[in-house]
Amino acid sequence: MAITLALKVFAGLLAAALAALLLEHYGLTGPPSSLPQPLNPQRPHPAPGPGDSNIFWGLQISDIHVSRFRDPSRAVDLEKFCSETIDIIQPALVLATGDLTDAKTKEQLGSRQQEVEWQTYQSILKKTRVMEKTKWLDIKGNHDAYNIPSLESVKNYYRKYSAVHRDGSFHYVHSTPFGNYSFISVDATQNPGPKRPFNFFGILDEKQMKELLLLAKESKESNHTIWFGHFTTSTILSPSPGIRSIMSSATAYLCGHLHTLGGLMPILHTRHFQGTLELEVGDWKDNRRYRIFAFDHDLFSFEDLIFGNWPVILITNPKSLLYSCAKHEPLERILHSTHIRVLAFSLSSITSVTIKIDGVNLGQAIHLSGPIFILKWNPRNYSNGTHNIEAIVQDSAGRSTSVHHIFSVQENIHLTFNPLASFILLTDHCMVPPRFINLMSFSLHLLSKINIFYYSMLLMTLYVVLGPWFFGEIIDGKLGFCFSFGIFVNGHFLQGGATFVAGIFQVVFFNIPLMAYLCWSLLQRCFGHSFKSHLHQGKYLKIIPVHLFMLLLYIWQIYSCYFLHVTQGTLALLFSPLRTWLTLLTPVLIRCVWTLNSTKFGTFMLQLKSHLSS
């Protein structure tokens, strides 16, 4: 008893230690770790004050998914965004971070570049003349690269219909009287571009990493550098030292791709260990999300918005503490500032901008110029701890919106990001009864002693690793092989990303359950049951769920064959050992368990009795 208690205590302490290490690694708990310190001497001036210079703002939109078959309102609302929203906010630039089109077939399972989607997208840009109003920087997402054999292919409609018109990463410099601001795009789309679902991850090779390193060096003299791309860094495969290291001098990395995990994570923001913010914006496709960002006296601020909601507000000084980093920003300018500064936009004229700090009304901000509103303040009144600032904006039509965030003018105070968001963006994720353990170990022993089952399961497991999984049209007209570690197509090798995930799903959700089901069935035979007799034991609540669970997984395996047929074609279906052949082999193995001659279980029955009594 004492030994058992000691083991439980030790296990608990070990689990707590592992949890603490994980949380500390991701900076999720405990005293805040110190952020990277400023590389340059302090620059308190010019500080935010009553002037309308030293400020510009831009927008980000992502995962638009203009579709030929689904939700025409995506395109309708995009046109309204490019006319009404752009006209009101008047951004210096717009970052459209990928998945400009949907590129799916009518049943939504297959993938194909639909030229009409690209024509719709381009017609919106031309009709609204948005490229004359602002700098529109649109980049590719994984959907924009589906089923493209090469960058030179006529199916690469991005080259023809986008605003940028060229593939690859690039460096755009926004020049102002108060300095230059670099915007570096990261093109991690696969080339050639396979069909879905093997295009979920981005890939950067050595050559692309060197190009990005050169772009990073080019931007060193800029006031700030913003990197932007479609994929989150956790979904980009890159050689050492990794993409996060290359962009470590950036203030922020703006991206999309994850669609806020279907609404489960509406805020996917974190900070890299080097200090760079990673900010995923919600999708336009279903949620009509977009982002406004600004540099006000070199202090970076942003607000994530929903299309159609007015007024739009962004507090630029004092900026949010959570998104502050002394390495990249002159945070001391907040302490030396003389005015609270707010950007406010609406369909109608702004009638009032009310400022509150810690619930205390400081008064009405006055209109300076354009969307800029200011209110005189003394930051030294808030020199200790953290404080909450709120801006309430009302327009002449009666619409009202408020935003708030926590700020601090005190040094060495930091806030931590959502642990799950940090895990998602930064990751390159009971007591058992002794009789159950005995039966489980014996069933595995039993499986290993009957050759047909042992070698079948061994082959299945090894085959997931070694492959090939199937042979077929990876791209229309281009045959190739799919393995766990990547895809060979048209003389190219595409490093595995989504293939690893698919392999893990196959093993976890079919191979292992099938092995467990075979072990359980063999145990039933060792207890002297046939298929009919084991159903008449009266233990329906224990027996029926096992068969139903295996049946559901088998249906899932059948569906995976159908999915393979729809996405990759008939040839892939016929020559797919991992999907089709395994689906046909499974009922054969199950039948063998229940029809195997009972005399073969005689020795095992004696061993089972001995095993259970030990």
Q: For residue range 307-354, list pLDDT tens digits in order.
A: 999 999 999 999 999 999 989 999 999 999 999 999 999 999 999 999
pLDDT of 17 reads: 47
Q: How far apart are the first and last CA of the chain?
A: 20
Helix 512-526 × helix 582-595 angle, to 10°: 10
Report DSSP letters for 102-129, one per residue: --B-TTSSSB---HHHHHHHHHHHHHHT
Token digits of residue 423 = 């895990």
Quick check: 291 and 281 in contact, CB under 8 A? yes
Model confidence pLDDT, tens digit, residues 505-521 = 999 999 999 999 888 88
pLDDT of 490 reads: 86
Within 413-535, where are the H helices?
Answer: 419-426, 434-449, 451-466, 498-506, 512-526, 531-535
Mean pLDDT over 457-463 rounds to 90
88: nearest Cα among 370, 336, 491, 354: 370
If you count them, how many residues does the chain have? 614
Residue 477 to residue 153: CA distance in whole angstroms: 12
What φ, ψ does residue 375 adopt, rounded to 5°? -145, 125
Q: What confidence category does residue 411 fall into, taking pLDDT thresholds of 50, 70 and 90?
A: confident
Domains of the chain: 57-309 (3.60.21.10), 311-321+329-414 (2.60.40.10), 434-613 (no CATH)
Mean pLDDT over 113-118 rounds to 96
Q: Residue 241: how many CB atoms within 10 A of its CB?
A: 11
Please enumerate in sequence order all residues whose Cβ is within 8 A of that of 92, keeping only pairs 6 or more positions apart, or say none: 56, 57, 58, 134, 135, 174
Residue 24 in this model has a pLDDT that exceeds 70: no
Q: Which residue has the higher pLDDT, 8 or 188?
A: 188
Token digits of residue 351 = 């009638």
Please enumerate in sequence order all residues whose Cβ is within 8 A of that of 179, keeping only pairs 6 or more positions apart, or say none: 222, 223, 298
In the numeric block, the tokens 């493209």 are attached to 148
475: nearest Cα among 199, 108, 149, 201: 149
The answer to whether the peptide bond before residue 197 is cis (omega within 30 degrees of 0) is yes
188: nearest Cα among 144, 146, 140, 143: 140
Residue 216 to residue 223: CA distance in whole angstroms: 13
Q: Which residue has the higher pLDDT, 58 or 597?
A: 58
**Strand blocks (E) in 310-364:** 312-317, 339-345, 350-357, 360-364
Quick check: 78 and 66 in contact, CB under 8 A? yes
pLDDT of 1 reads: 44
Residue 376 in this model has a pLDDT that exceeds 60: yes
285: nearest Cα among 255, 260, 312: 260
Q: Which residue has the higher pLDDT, 13 or 315?
A: 315
Token digits of residue 40 = 């340059």
Report DSSP letters for 240-305, one per residue: TT-HHHHTTT-SEEEE-SSGGGGGT-S-EEEE-TTS-EEEEPPPHHHH-EEEEEEEETTEEEEEEE
pLDDT of 524 reads: 82
Mean pLDDT over 202-224 rounds to 95
| Pairing between β-strand 299-306 and β-strand 236-237 as defined by DSSP bridges | unpaired
Residue 300 to residue 180: CA distance in whole angstroms: 14
pLDDT of 608 reads: 66
Report DSSP letters for 28-75, one per residue: -SSSPPPPPPPSS-----SPS-S-S-SEEEEEEE----B-SSS-THHH
Lowest-confidence pick of 257-271, 295-309, 390-404: 257-271
Residue 424 in this model has a pLDDT that exceeds 60: yes
Q: What confidence category does residue 10 fall into, taking pLDDT thresholds of 50, 70 and 90?
A: very low
Q: What confidence category does residue 538 fall into, taking pLDDT thresholds of 50, 70 and 90?
A: low
pLDDT of 3 reads: 44
